[in-house]
Amino acid sequence: MRGRIAGLLLLVLACTASAQSPVPPIEATPTADPPPAETVVAGLSSDSVAITASFDGSDILIYGAIKRETPIPPGPPLQVIVTVEAPSRGVTVWRKERKAGIWVNAESVRIGAAPGFYAVATSAALDDILLPEWDSRYRISLSHAMRAFAGQIAVESAVPFTEALIRIREDQGLYRLDEGSVSLIDQTLFRADVNLPANLVEGAYKTRIFLLRDGQVIDVFVAPINVRKVGLERWLYRLAFDQPFLYGLMSLAVAVFAGWGASAAFMKLRRP
Amino acid sequence: MQIYLPIAEVSVNAFTLIGLGGLVGLMSGLFGVGGGFLITPLLFFIGIPPAIAVATGANQVVASSVSGVLAHVKRKSVDFRMGGVLLAGGLVGSWLGVWVFTLLQRVGQVDLVVQLCYVVFLGLIGAMMLQESIRALRRSNAPGYRRRLHQHNWVHRWPLKIKFRASGLYISAFPPLLVGVAVGVLAAIMGVGGGFIMVPAMIYLLGMPTKVVVGTSLFQITFVTAFTTLMHAVSYNTVDIMLAVLLIVGGVVGAQFGTTLGAKLRAEQLRILLALLVLAVCGKLALDLFLTPDDFYVIQPGIG
SS3 A234: helix
* Alpha-helical regions (H) of B108-240: 110-141, 174-190, 195-200, 210-236
CA distances from A34 to A13, A24, A30, A218 (A): 26, 20, 11, 12
Q: Could you tell me which of A8, A125, A117 has the C-alpha nearest to residue A62? A: A8
| Helix axis angle, B50-74 to B241-262, nearest 10° | 40
Give the separation between CA A74 and CA B47, rounded to whole angstroms. Answer: 52
pLDDT, position A36: 66
pLDDT, position A249: 93
Q: Nearest-5° angle of CA B51, CA B54, CA B60?
A: 140
Confirm or reject contact between B154 and chain A (CB < 8 A): no
Number of residue pairs across A and B with CB atoms under 8 Å? Answer: 194
> Is there a contact between A244 and B237 if contact means CB atoms under 8 Å apart?
yes
pLDDT digits (tens, 9 = 90+) for B46-80: 878 878 888 898 888 888 888 878 877 877 778 88
> Is there a contact between A260 and B67 if contact means CB atoms under 8 Å apart?
yes
Rounded to the nearest integer, the mean pLDDT of chain B is 80
Give the separation between CA B11 and CA B18, rounded to whole angstroms. Answer: 14
Between positions 4 and 63 of B, the ones with CB within 8 A of A are 4, 6-7, 9-11, 59-60, 62-63
In this complex, which of B60, B235, B296 lies closest to A95 when CB atoms are compared?
B296
Range in A205-214, A240-249, B89-98, B180-189 with the lowest mean pLDDT: B180-189
Q: Which residues 6+ apart lie within 8 Å of A116 measured at CB? A: A86, A87, A88, A89, A174, A200, A201
Single-letter code of the amino acid located at A137: R
Q: Which residues 6+ apart lie within 8 Å of A163 measured at CB? A: none
pLDDT, position A152: 64
Q: Where are the domains of chain B?
A: 2-138+155-290
Signed CA dihedral, B112, B115, B117, B120: sign only: negative
Q: Could you tell me which of A212, A263, A71 has the C-alpha nearest to residue B72? A: A263
pLDDT, position B25: 83
Which residues of chain B are within 8 Å of residue A169 when distances are taken between CB atoms? 299
Q: Could you tell me which of B238, B85, B9, B266 has the C-alpha nearest to residue A228? A: B9
Higher per-residue pLDDT: B196 or A57: A57
pLDDT, position A220: 92
Parts of chain A with a pLDDT under 70: 1-36, 147-154, 270-272
pLDDT, position B32: 63
Burial string for B241-253 (b: 16+ CB within 10 Å, else e) reads: bbbbbbbbbbbbb
pLDDT, position A45: 85
Q: Could you tell me which of A264, A252, A266, A269 has the C-alpha nearest to residue B254? A: A266
How many CB atoms are closer than 10 A to CB A128? 11
In this complex, which of B10, B226, B253 lies closest to A199 when CB atoms are compared?
B10
> Is there a contact between A54 and B289 if contact means CB atoms under 8 Å apart?
no
pLDDT, position A34: 57
- Quote ipTM for the complex: 0.78
pLDDT class of B103 with cuts at 50, 70, 90 = confident
Q: Which residues 6+ apart lie within 8 Å of B261 measured at CB? A: B26, B29, B30
pLDDT, position A251: 92
Which residues of chain A are within 8 Å of residue B106 when distances are taken between CB atoms? none
Which residues of chain B are within 8 Å of residue A162 when distances are taken between CB atoms? none
pLDDT digits (tens, 9 = 90+) for B224-241: 889 888 988 888 888 999
pTM score: 0.74
pLDDT digits (tens, 9 = 90+) for B105-163: 777 777 788 778 888 888 888 888 788 788 877 876 665 444 444 555 566 666 677 77
Which residues of chain B are within 8 Å of residue A90 when distances are taken between CB atoms? 301-303
Signed CA dihedral, B191, B193, B196, B198: sign only: positive
Single-letter code of the amino acid located at A87: P
The top-level CATH class assigned to A38-86+116-230 is: mainly beta
Which residues of chain B are within 8 Å of residue A249 when distances are taken between CB atoms? 230
DSSP A141: S
CA distances from B260 to A250, A267, B26, B27 (A): 30, 11, 10, 12
Work out the widest C-alpha separation in chain A, in whole angstroms.
Answer: 88
In angstroms, what separates the C-alpha of A231 from chain B's closest C-alpha? 11
Best of B48, B241, B291 to mutate (most A CBs within 10 Å, chain A): B241
> Is there a contact between A233 and B4 if contact means CB atoms under 8 Å apart?
yes
